[in-house]
Amino acid sequence: MKSEKKVSYYMSLPYNYIIQQITDESGSYYYAHVLELDGCQSTGESFEEAYNNLKEAMKGWIQTKIEARI
């Protein structure tokens, strides 16, 4: 329970999101990442899906760092 409060706290902080449309050999999709969270990234078929997937990835990224005490 305590770590959930910490995750909520870190999720409420301001972050810089980069979401860009990519077209390559695998097709067209949106790539999203958080500048402040190294390696925290996601993709989606639409801008909204990429953003929502990124928010879920952020929760997992933050939870992992809290559990590892990093």
**In 3-state terms, what secondary structure has residue 58?**
helix
Question: Looking at residue 24, what DSSP letter applies?
Answer: E
pLDDT value of position 30:
98
pLDDT value of position 3:
67
Q: Which two tokens stand for residue 52?
A: 């929502």
Structural domains of the chain ordered from first start: 2-68 (3.30.160.250)
- With 0-12 CB in 10 A as exposed, 13-18 as middle and 19+ as buried, what is 21? exposed
Confidence band, pLDDT 50/70/90 cuts, at residue 5:
confident
pLDDT value of position 10:
95
Query: What does the pLDDT look like over 7-66, one tens digit per residue?
Result: 999 999 999 999 999 999 999 999 999 999 999 999 999 999 999 999 999 999 999 999
pTM of the model: 0.89
